[in-house]
Amino acid sequence: MRDHNYGFWEGKTLEKIEAEQPGALAAFRTDPAYVPGGGESLTQVASRTAGFLDAMRSAGGHLIAVTHPVVVRTAMIHILAAPLTSCWQIDVPPLSMTSFYSDGTRWTLRACGAQRRAGGKDPPD
């Protein structure tokens, strides 16, 4: 359940990436097959995630996976059979929990939400 491999972009700001490769971020956001130099495409991340979910579907029992937002997004997309281009419209806040349920034949997105702050305050938008 490793994070997206961003290749040469790893550790760089969006501004630096855009300055070094004008238009690359726009291509990355709109084309799931776009591969940042030395990294992997969103399509590849989605394939890894789908493979994991498919392998776990009939495993039974409970599993807790701590992972990265893009993996959670691609899991949601796989389960909902949504277009991969919708990935960037899903917000997965830090320290949030997403719950999936399998009856052994299919997955269901059971619940999704950000953790509330102390005092019951919602995180900022």
pLDDT above 90 as % of the chain: 60
pLDDT at 57 over 60: yes
pLDDT above 70 as % of the chain: 88
User: What value does the mean pLDDT take over residues 18-33?
Assistant: 95
Question: Exposed, middle or buried: residue 47 (CB in 10 Å: 0-12, 13-18, 19+)?
Answer: middle
- Helices 42-56 and 69-80, packing angle to 10 deg: 70
Better pLDDT: 87 or 123: 87
